[in-house]
Amino acid sequence: AQKITQTQPGMFVQEKEAVTLDCTYDTSDQSYGLFWYKQPSSGEMIFLIYQGSYDEQNATEGRYSLNFQKARKSANLVISASQLGDSAMYFCAMREGRRNQGGKLIFGQGTELSVKP
Amino acid sequence: GAVVSQHPSWVICKSGTSVKIECRSLDFQATTMFWYRQFPKQSLMLMATSNEGSKATYEQGVEKDKFLINHASLTLSTLTVTSAHPEDSSFYICSAGGGLAGYEQYFGPGTRLTVT
């Protein structure tokens, strides 16, 4: 069965520094997708970045990059140059199946990131 | 990106009444929609998968007679919480995927339900 694990309930980072949020996953499928979402206090889910299981390059989107280590089944999110607006809950999620199948997501427990001025 | 709306954004109802929450994909056709529930400081838990024109698929432990899901068209899915109780108070979020949305799931802004 699918499982996503985020072991850091809360993290602090100084403004302008980089931070890594951990995510490990478990699946028996060869084809899957990994997502990171940001959820501010308003509750909306903001898509940050996606990594497909067959993607050879680590995904990057602006200040976000995904450190994908397939053999270790980890998909850590790296946020560079943290900003005060980055303070939020961050969720790692996984979808089994190919990228255009739009399947259900299984979420990790989340990490609450606080950026200090 | 694609836009998904939810209505209402928040609702307060009395115990024993039913509440309907709508989820609409505004600029794309969503063959599949998903309903999640989130308690404070917790993760999103998938409740059910809603497919246009067919019955919803519920996750284990979710009462299908209590949480009625209808996916009447490619742009609208509804979740009805029947005979609501205080323990049903939660944040309900829908997402839409499939069709032109590709690999992403687009989330609605969520509905905060409080049952008194």
Nearest CA in chain B to A95: B103
Please, is B62 exposed, middle or buried when counting C-beta atoms within 10 Å of its C-beta (0-12, 13-18, 19+)? middle
- Tell me what the pLDDT averaged over chain A comes to: 92
Nearest CA in chain B to A109: B43
pLDDT category of residue A16 using cuts at 50, 70 and 90: very high
pLDDT(A29) > 90: no
pLDDT(A7) > 60: yes
pLDDT tens digit sequence for A75-105:
999 999 999 999 999 999 998 766 555 578 8
Instruction: Kindly give, in sequence order, each residue whose CB lies less than 8 Å from that of residue A54, ignoring residues fewer than 6 positions away.
Output: A31
- Amino acid B101: pLDDT: 47
- Report the residue from B91, B93, B97 with minimal CB separation from A102: B97
pLDDT(A108) > 70: yes
- Amino acid A69: pLDDT: 96
Measured between beta carbons, the chain B residues lying within 8 angstroms of A107 are: 43-45
Tell me the residues of A at the B interface, defined by beta carbons under 8 Å apart: 33, 35, 37, 42-45, 47, 50, 52, 91, 95, 99-110
pLDDT tens digit sequence for B5-35:
999 999 999 999 999 999 998 888 887 899 9
- Amino acid B14: pLDDT: 97
pLDDT tens digit sequence for B50-84:
888 888 999 999 999 999 999 888 889 999 999 99
- C-beta of residue B69 within 8 angstroms of C-beta of residue B78: yes
Residues B40-60: b if buried by 16+ CB within 10 A, e if exposed: eeebbbbbbbbbbeeebbbee
Tokens 């969520």 belong to residue? B110
- Tell me what the pLDDT averaged over chain B comes to: 90
Q: Is B20 on the interface with A (CB under 8 A)?
A: no
**Whole-angstrom Cα distance, residue A88 to residue A112?**
6
- Amino acid B51: pLDDT: 84
Query: Which region among A66-80, B43-57, B74-88, B99-113 has the lowest average model confidence (pLDDT)?
Result: B99-113
